Amino acid sequence: MDIRNKVVIITGASAGIGFATARLFAKNGAKVAIVARSKDKLNELASGLQDSLVVQTDMANAVSVKNMVKKVYGHYGRIDVLINNAGQGFDELVEYIDIKEFQYIIDLNLIGPLTAMQEVIPVMRKQGGGVIVNISSGLSKMHMPGMSGYASIKSALNTISLTAREELADEKISVSIVYPYITATNFEKNTIIGKNHNSIQDAGKQDEGYNSLPPPDSPGTVAQKILEVVISERAEQFVHDWLDGRK
Protein backbone atom coordinates (compact mmCIF):
# COMPACT_ATOMS: atom_id res chain seq x y z
CA MET A 1 0.00 0.00 0.00
CA ASP A 2 1.14 3.52 -0.80
CA ILE A 3 0.52 5.36 2.49
CA ARG A 4 0.48 8.88 1.06
CA ASN A 5 -2.80 10.56 2.06
CA LYS A 6 -3.98 7.34 3.72
CA VAL A 7 -5.75 7.46 7.10
CA VAL A 8 -3.77 5.48 9.67
CA ILE A 9 -4.87 4.67 13.23
CA ILE A 10 -1.91 4.12 15.58
CA THR A 11 -2.71 2.96 19.11
CA GLY A 12 -0.27 3.43 21.97
CA ALA A 13 1.02 6.51 20.17
CA SER A 14 1.96 8.62 23.19
CA ALA A 15 5.42 7.06 23.61
CA GLY A 16 7.92 4.49 22.40
CA ILE A 17 7.17 2.49 19.26
CA GLY A 18 3.78 4.15 18.69
CA PHE A 19 5.24 7.64 18.97
CA ALA A 20 8.04 6.83 16.50
CA THR A 21 5.58 5.17 14.13
CA ALA A 22 3.24 8.16 14.12
CA ARG A 23 6.08 10.52 13.26
CA LEU A 24 7.43 8.23 10.53
CA PHE A 25 4.06 7.69 8.88
CA ALA A 26 3.23 11.39 8.97
CA LYS A 27 6.64 12.16 7.48
CA ASN A 28 5.77 9.82 4.62
CA GLY A 29 2.48 11.56 3.88
CA ALA A 30 -0.08 9.66 5.95
CA LYS A 31 -2.91 11.22 7.95
CA VAL A 32 -2.44 9.78 11.42
CA ALA A 33 -5.06 9.28 14.11
CA ILE A 34 -2.99 8.96 17.29
CA VAL A 35 -4.55 6.98 20.11
CA ALA A 36 -3.59 6.53 23.77
CA ARG A 37 -4.81 7.24 27.30
CA SER A 38 -2.57 10.29 27.80
CA LYS A 39 -4.23 13.21 26.01
CA ASP A 40 -1.49 15.68 26.98
CA LYS A 41 1.22 13.55 25.39
CA LEU A 42 -0.91 13.04 22.28
CA ASN A 43 -1.51 16.77 21.94
CA GLU A 44 2.22 17.39 22.20
CA LEU A 45 2.86 14.86 19.46
CA ALA A 46 0.04 16.18 17.28
CA SER A 47 1.47 19.70 17.35
CA GLY A 48 4.21 18.51 15.03
CA LEU A 49 2.06 16.35 12.75
CA GLN A 50 0.04 17.86 9.92
CA ASP A 51 -3.60 16.75 9.59
CA SER A 52 -3.41 14.47 12.64
CA LEU A 53 -6.25 13.59 15.00
CA VAL A 54 -5.96 13.01 18.75
CA VAL A 55 -8.29 10.38 20.19
CA GLN A 56 -7.93 9.71 23.89
CA THR A 57 -8.79 6.04 24.34
CA ASP A 58 -8.54 3.27 26.91
CA MET A 59 -7.68 0.24 24.78
CA ALA A 60 -8.63 -2.06 27.66
CA ASN A 61 -12.21 -0.80 27.42
CA ALA A 62 -14.20 -2.14 24.46
CA VAL A 63 -16.67 0.75 24.48
CA SER A 64 -13.81 3.26 24.40
CA VAL A 65 -12.23 1.39 21.47
CA LYS A 66 -15.48 1.37 19.51
CA ASN A 67 -15.97 5.09 20.11
CA MET A 68 -12.41 5.75 18.95
CA VAL A 69 -12.97 4.07 15.60
CA LYS A 70 -16.25 5.92 15.11
CA LYS A 71 -14.53 9.23 15.86
CA VAL A 72 -11.71 8.57 13.38
CA TYR A 73 -14.14 7.51 10.67
CA GLY A 74 -16.39 10.50 11.37
CA HIS A 75 -13.44 12.89 11.08
CA TYR A 76 -11.73 11.52 7.97
CA GLY A 77 -14.54 9.59 6.26
CA ARG A 78 -12.33 6.53 5.79
CA ILE A 79 -9.81 4.27 7.56
CA ASP A 80 -7.04 2.71 5.49
CA VAL A 81 -4.67 1.30 8.09
CA LEU A 82 -5.01 0.10 11.70
CA ILE A 83 -1.83 -0.41 13.72
CA ASN A 84 -2.60 -2.15 17.02
CA ASN A 85 0.45 -1.20 19.05
CA ALA A 86 -0.88 -0.37 22.53
CA GLY A 87 0.02 -2.91 25.18
CA GLN A 88 1.65 -3.61 28.53
CA GLY A 89 4.03 -6.25 29.81
CA PHE A 90 3.25 -8.78 32.51
CA ASP A 91 5.93 -10.78 34.36
CA GLU A 92 5.04 -13.60 36.73
CA LEU A 93 5.63 -17.29 37.21
CA VAL A 94 2.72 -19.49 36.11
CA GLU A 95 2.07 -20.72 39.64
CA TYR A 96 1.54 -17.20 40.96
CA ILE A 97 -0.27 -15.37 38.14
CA ASP A 98 -2.86 -13.03 39.63
CA ILE A 99 -6.02 -13.70 37.65
CA LYS A 100 -7.37 -10.16 38.04
CA GLU A 101 -4.14 -8.65 36.73
CA PHE A 102 -4.03 -11.23 33.97
CA GLN A 103 -7.57 -10.39 32.90
CA TYR A 104 -6.61 -6.71 32.57
CA ILE A 105 -3.66 -7.62 30.35
CA ILE A 106 -5.93 -9.83 28.24
CA ASP A 107 -8.35 -6.93 27.82
CA LEU A 108 -5.57 -4.52 26.85
CA ASN A 109 -3.30 -6.73 24.75
CA LEU A 110 -5.87 -8.99 23.06
CA ILE A 111 -9.50 -7.89 23.40
CA GLY A 112 -8.67 -4.25 22.61
CA PRO A 113 -6.90 -5.06 19.33
CA LEU A 114 -9.59 -7.58 18.40
CA THR A 115 -12.33 -5.02 19.05
CA ALA A 116 -10.51 -2.44 16.93
CA MET A 117 -10.19 -4.99 14.13
CA GLN A 118 -13.89 -5.82 14.29
CA GLU A 119 -14.76 -2.13 14.06
CA VAL A 120 -12.49 -1.26 11.11
CA ILE A 121 -13.11 -4.37 8.99
CA PRO A 122 -16.60 -3.27 7.81
CA VAL A 123 -15.19 0.17 6.98
CA MET A 124 -12.33 -1.32 4.98
CA ARG A 125 -14.66 -3.76 3.25
CA LYS A 126 -16.88 -0.88 2.12
CA GLN A 127 -13.82 0.99 0.81
CA GLY A 128 -12.54 -2.02 -1.09
CA GLY A 129 -9.57 -2.87 1.13
CA GLY A 130 -7.18 -1.89 3.90
CA VAL A 131 -4.28 -3.00 6.07
CA ILE A 132 -4.24 -4.14 9.70
CA VAL A 133 -0.93 -4.59 11.52
CA ASN A 134 -0.85 -6.13 14.98
CA ILE A 135 2.28 -5.62 17.06
CA SER A 136 3.12 -8.91 18.74
CA SER A 137 6.34 -9.85 20.55
CA GLY A 138 9.26 -12.14 19.98
CA LEU A 139 8.36 -13.68 23.33
CA SER A 140 5.35 -15.27 21.64
CA LYS A 141 7.85 -17.52 19.83
CA MET A 142 9.81 -18.38 23.01
CA HIS A 143 9.30 -20.05 26.39
CA MET A 144 10.96 -17.62 28.78
CA PRO A 145 10.35 -18.28 32.50
CA GLY A 146 8.09 -15.68 34.04
CA MET A 147 6.79 -14.47 30.68
CA SER A 148 4.04 -17.03 30.02
CA GLY A 149 1.10 -14.70 30.69
CA TYR A 150 2.30 -11.99 28.30
CA ALA A 151 3.63 -14.43 25.71
CA SER A 152 0.43 -16.51 25.66
CA ILE A 153 -1.69 -13.43 24.97
CA LYS A 154 0.60 -12.38 22.13
CA SER A 155 0.47 -15.94 20.78
CA ALA A 156 -3.32 -15.69 20.73
CA LEU A 157 -3.03 -12.38 18.87
CA ASN A 158 -0.75 -14.09 16.33
CA THR A 159 -3.33 -16.79 15.66
CA ILE A 160 -6.21 -14.33 15.37
CA SER A 161 -4.16 -12.16 13.01
CA LEU A 162 -3.03 -14.89 10.64
CA THR A 163 -6.48 -16.49 10.60
CA ALA A 164 -8.08 -13.13 9.84
CA ARG A 165 -5.55 -12.71 7.04
CA GLU A 166 -6.93 -15.86 5.42
CA GLU A 167 -10.55 -14.92 6.07
CA LEU A 168 -10.22 -11.43 4.59
CA ALA A 169 -7.82 -12.06 1.72
CA ASP A 170 -10.54 -12.08 -0.94
CA GLU A 171 -11.75 -8.69 0.30
CA LYS A 172 -8.31 -7.10 -0.11
CA ILE A 173 -7.92 -6.55 3.62
CA SER A 174 -4.39 -7.52 4.60
CA VAL A 175 -3.62 -8.54 8.21
CA SER A 176 0.01 -8.71 9.31
CA ILE A 177 2.11 -9.23 12.44
CA VAL A 178 5.30 -7.48 13.53
CA TYR A 179 7.50 -9.15 16.17
CA PRO A 180 9.70 -6.62 17.99
CA TYR A 181 12.81 -7.66 19.87
CA ILE A 182 13.79 -5.82 23.08
CA THR A 183 13.25 -2.12 22.35
CA ALA A 184 14.76 0.91 24.06
CA THR A 185 11.51 2.31 25.51
CA ASN A 186 9.79 2.55 28.89
CA PHE A 187 7.98 -0.73 28.24
CA GLU A 188 9.87 -2.61 30.96
CA LYS A 189 9.36 0.26 33.40
CA ASN A 190 5.60 0.06 32.84
CA THR A 191 5.41 -3.75 32.99
CA ILE A 192 3.24 -5.26 35.71
CA ILE A 193 5.68 -7.18 37.88
CA GLY A 194 4.50 -10.12 39.99
CA LYS A 195 5.57 -10.76 43.56
CA ASN A 196 8.10 -13.38 42.47
CA HIS A 197 10.26 -11.09 40.33
CA ASN A 198 13.56 -12.35 41.77
CA SER A 199 12.54 -15.92 41.00
CA ILE A 200 11.72 -14.89 37.44
CA GLN A 201 15.16 -13.36 36.98
CA ASP A 202 16.89 -16.48 38.35
CA ALA A 203 14.82 -18.79 36.14
CA GLY A 204 15.34 -16.60 33.10
CA LYS A 205 19.09 -16.99 33.36
CA GLN A 206 18.64 -20.67 32.57
CA ASP A 207 17.31 -19.82 29.10
CA GLU A 208 19.74 -20.60 26.29
CA GLY A 209 21.27 -17.41 24.97
CA TYR A 210 20.20 -15.29 27.97
CA ASN A 211 23.70 -13.94 28.49
CA SER A 212 24.37 -13.23 24.80
CA LEU A 213 21.40 -11.04 23.89
CA PRO A 214 22.04 -8.31 21.31
CA PRO A 215 21.48 -4.71 22.45
CA PRO A 216 17.92 -3.30 22.28
CA ASP A 217 16.56 -1.87 19.06
CA SER A 218 15.47 1.76 18.86
CA PRO A 219 11.77 2.65 18.53
CA GLY A 220 12.63 4.10 15.13
CA THR A 221 13.97 0.73 13.95
CA VAL A 222 10.67 -0.94 14.85
CA ALA A 223 8.68 1.88 13.26
CA GLN A 224 10.57 1.40 10.00
CA LYS A 225 9.70 -2.30 9.99
CA ILE A 226 6.05 -1.45 10.59
CA LEU A 227 6.10 0.94 7.64
CA GLU A 228 7.72 -1.74 5.46
CA VAL A 229 4.99 -4.24 6.40
CA VAL A 230 2.21 -1.79 5.57
CA ILE A 231 3.79 -1.10 2.19
CA SER A 232 4.57 -4.76 1.36
CA GLU A 233 1.53 -6.28 3.11
CA ARG A 234 3.59 -9.37 3.99
CA ALA A 235 2.18 -11.67 6.67
CA GLU A 236 4.94 -11.57 9.30
CA GLN A 237 7.97 -9.42 10.04
CA PHE A 238 10.65 -10.01 12.67
CA VAL A 239 12.38 -6.78 13.63
CA HIS A 240 15.67 -8.39 14.63
CA ASP A 241 17.65 -11.11 12.84
CA TRP A 242 18.58 -12.75 16.17
CA LEU A 243 14.89 -13.18 16.97
CA ASP A 244 14.12 -14.49 13.49
CA GLY A 245 16.68 -17.24 14.08
CA ARG A 246 14.81 -18.47 17.18
CA LYS A 247 11.37 -18.83 15.58
Q: For residue 243, is pLDDT > 60?
A: no
Q: How confident is the model at residue 205 (pLDDT cuts 50, 70, 90)?
A: very low
Average pLDDT, the chain: 90
Residue 94 class from Cβ within 10 Å (0-12 exposed, 13-18 middle, 19+ buried)?
exposed
67, 44 contact by CB (below 8 A): no
CB atoms within 10 A of CB 64: 17
What are the Cα distances from residue 45, in Å, to 35, 54, 173?
A: 11, 9, 29
150 is catalytic: yes
pLDDT at 247: 47
- Under the banding of pLDDT at 50, 70 and 90, the label for residue 49 is very high
90: Cα separation from own chain's centroid? 15
pLDDT in tens, 67-113: 999 999 999 999 999 999 999 989 999 999 999 999 999 999 999 99
pTM of the predicted protein model: 0.91
Q: Which of 73, 150, 179, 181 is catalytic?
A: 150
Q: Please give the pLDDT value at position 161.
A: 98
Please provide the CATH number assigned to the domain covering 7-244. Answer: 3.40.50.720
pLDDT band at 147 (very low <50, low <70, confident <90, very high): confident
**Is the model's pLDDT at 201 over the cut of 80?**
no
Cβ distance 7 to 112 under 8 Å?
no
- Can you give the residue ranges of every domain in the chain? 7-244
pLDDT tier at 195, thresholds 50, 70, 90: confident
